[in-house]
Amino acid sequence: MVRAPFGARLRVAMDQRGPICAGIDPHPQLMHAWGLSTDIAGLTEFSRRCADAFAETAAIVKPQVAFFEAYGSPGLAVLEETIAALRSGGALVLADAKRGDIGSTMSAYARAWLDDASPLASDAVTLSPYLGFGSLQPALELAQQTGRGVFALAATSNPEGRTVQRARCSGGTTVAQMIVDEAGSRNREAEPMGSVGVVIGATLSEIPDLKDLNGPVLLPGVGAQGGTPGSVAKLMGEYGHLAVPAVSRDILRSGPDVARLRTATTQAAESFAFLKQS
């Protein structure tokens, strides 16, 4: 199947629906708050309501893969159904899997999330480059071939990440900056933006230089974790048009009513509408 590059499709979706990424995070606490059981039946209902709410309202939706994997093969079957429902409604899907390995194993991960033949195939997947950015090459190549995208973890907000991410490479740049620069090297001359994005915590006080990225920046941590439209605007500066704020718990706490979830998604998107003018 021939499709437009992920970066181009994401730009259109963000311009039409707003720039946010809605999350599907079936935490047991959230499922209880929705009056659902924490078994596979509850997971199925939680995911169905999210898909119904987000498929036609959000530009991109991020299912947190780990919460589905916790249920074994039945959970992965629910994830497959959720991905299909979201995409059939017009939303792009970002599988938050954070995969990273070398050689044939990385190739297998790439096929799972980026190959047309896989029932888990999404529009993009999150990857960990901390075995070396070059280890992601199988995924980068397959994403390019299939018109899909990747988001590489660069500067995360967890305190434990700082030791590695702020370490200096031999050239003097931080590891996080190196990852951003490596991603940007894959996005050169892409219009309107490239398909290799990075993940940067929305609650950080400083971030790597984005001038050469030309790709989307996923910003988890908006809402319950402290990120706001104002803080995202300050963090991204002149590169606000690349920002994809990830809003999960603030939207999901509006459930279980699907109409309320839709309204919360639209309101969140409207609160970040200024970003596309950056």
- Told to judge if 98 belongs to the known catalytic residues of this protein, a careful annotator would answer yes
Q: What is the spatial distance between Cα 32 and Cα 179, in angstroms, rounded to a whole number? A: 39
Q: What is the spatial distance between Cα 5 and Cα 187, in angstroms, rounded to a whole number? A: 11
Tokens of 106: 């990385």
Classified as helix, coil or strand, 41 is helix
Total count of residues recorded for the chain = 278
Active-site annotation holder among 62, 98, 211, 276: 98
Angle at 28 between CA 84 and CA 224, to 5 degrees: 90
Nearest-Å Rg of the Cα atoms of the chain is 18
Other CB atoms within 10 Å distance of the CB of residue 115: 16
Task: With beta carbons less than 8 A apart as the criterion, state whether 5 and 147 touch.
Answer: yes
Task: With beta carbons less than 8 A apart as the criterion, state whether 98 and 158 touch.
Answer: no
Q: What is the spatial distance between Cα 31 and Cα 49, in angstroms, rounded to a whole number? A: 11
In sequence order, which ranges of the chain are alpha helices (DSSP H)? 6-17, 28-33, 40-54, 65-69, 73-88, 103-114, 137-146, 162-165, 175-185, 229-236, 249-252, 258-271
Catalytic residues: 98
